[in-house]
Amino acid sequence: MKTFDWSQLDEAQKREALARPAHRAAADVTGVVREIMQDVALRGGAAVNDWCIKLDGAPPRRFAINNETLNAARDQLAPADTRAIRMAAENIRVFHQATKPEDSALIETTAGVRSKLAWRAIGAAGIYVPGGTAPLFSSLLMQAIPAQVAGVKTRVVVTPPSKDGSVHPAMIIAAAEAGLDAIWAIGGAQAIAALTFGVELEDGIIPRCDKLFGPGNAYVAEAKKQANALPAGPAVDMPAGPSEVMVVADSAADPVIAAADLLSQAEHDKDAQVILVATTKTALTAILEEVEEQVSTLPREEIARASLSEARAILARDPNDVIEVINMYGPEHLALQTEDAGDLVDRIEAAGAIFVGGWAAETLGDYAAGPSHVLPTDGGARTLGGLTTASFMTSMSVQYVNEEGARALGPIAARLARLEGLEGHARAADYRSEA
C-alpha cells in the first residue's frame, strides 16, 4: 500500500493520493465495449450469442425458477445456507417496504391551487448481478427485492455463467426469494447491450429495459455509460464499478478488524480500491502489518494482492483532515472505527454507506442488514445515493386548480410569462383568469 501524510500534501498531491485506478477508464475498455454495443445494435441476438461464447465460454441461457430448478438447487446447498438467504431476503424486504416513497398529501400553495407528488414504478428494470470470480447472489437480492417492492412489472436479471454455463444454486434460491420467474446466464458488456436494445435468443426474448441497474467490472460500468448516452437509451442507476472501501481508524481501533474490513473488499476484484485513513502512526503501522498477515491466508490472495497494489494508507492526525479526506474521495463504503465515530457522521457529505463503530462490519451491510449494497463508486457518492425502492420509481407532480385558483394565480403567471417573452404562455393563463 502506498503511504501518505495528509498534512504534507498540497492540493494537487491530495487529489493524486485519492485518484481511482487509471485503467478503470482505459481506452481499450471503451473501445471493446463500443464494438460490442454496436454489434448487438446491428445483429441483435446473434451478436449476443457470439460474444457470450467468445467471452463467457457458453451461449446465453435462461434458467426458469420453478419447482424442478429449486429442488435441484436446494439439494446442492446446506439447509442453513437456504435459511440464511431467506433471512437476508426478509430483512431487505422489510427495510425497503418501510422506506418506499408514498404519494404526498395535497399541498395548497394558493387558494384553489393544490398539488402533490405521486410515485409510480418504472416499467422494465434490467438488473445486472456480478458473477465471474464469485457468485454474488446477495446482489440479486439487493436489487430484485427493492424492484419488487416498488412494483416493477418486468424485472430482467442477468448474471455471468459458471465455466460450465450454469449458475450457482444460491442464485436460483435468491431468485426465488425475490419472486423472479427466471434469470439469464449472460455476463459483461454483452449482457448490458441485450438489456439496452432488447434481443431474441434461442431460450426466449430479453425485452428492452427502461433503466439499468447493478455493479460490475470496468466493462459493465462502461457499457452502462454508453447505453445511457444513446438517443432514447435507458436510464442508469449510478456509476457502480469495482468496489471501494475506506476505513478510518484511531488508536482504539482493533487492527485485526480494520485489516479484515480492508481485505473484504480487496478480495472482490483486482480493480477494487481500499483506503486506510489512520489518525496515528501507531495505528497505521499496526493495521498495515495485520493486512500483510491476513492476506497470505486468503483463498483469493492473488486477487487481493492485485487490489492492494492500488491501495492507499493515509495518515491524518487532525479530525478536520479526516473529514476532508472522506468528502474529497466520496467512498462507496465508509467504515468509521474511531472513538468519536458517531460524531463524525454529521460532518460527512459524501459516502455511499457508512458503518459506524467497530461492530458495524461492512460485511453485515453487504448481505443482511437491509439497505441495498448497490452503491455509487468513482466519487459518485458526492451527488448520488445508493439503491433504494425510489430508484425503481418515478415521481410526478399532480396539480388540481379550480376557478378561484385560476383567477388568483393566472395574472401572476401571465406577467411572469410576458417577462420571459412568451406571449402564448401568458394568454393560456389570461383566458382562464378572465373567463
Q: Which residues are catalytic?
A: 332-333
Report the alpha-carbon distance of residue 150 to residue 100 in Å, rounded: 7
Residues 353/385, Cβ–Cβ less than 8 Å: no
Cα–Cα distances in angstroms (integers) from residue 385 to residues 121, 272, 371, 379, in the given order: 18, 19, 11, 11
- State the amino acid at position 141 in one-letter form: L
Residues 136/128, Cβ–Cβ less than 8 Å: no
What does the DSSP assignment read for 321-362? HHHHHHHHH--SEEEEESTTHHHHHTT----SEEEESTT--H
Residue 373's φ and ψ, nearest 5 degrees, are: -90, 5
- Tell me if residue 401 falls in helix, strand or coil: strand
Reference 89, options 372, 360, 386, 389; nearest CA is 372
What does the DSSP assignment read for 372-429? ------TTGGGT-----GGGGEEEEEEEEE-HHHHHHHHHHHHHHHHHTT-HHHHHHH
Q: Which grid coordinates belong to 211?
A: 433503466
Residue 164's φ and ψ, nearest 5 degrees, are: -90, 10
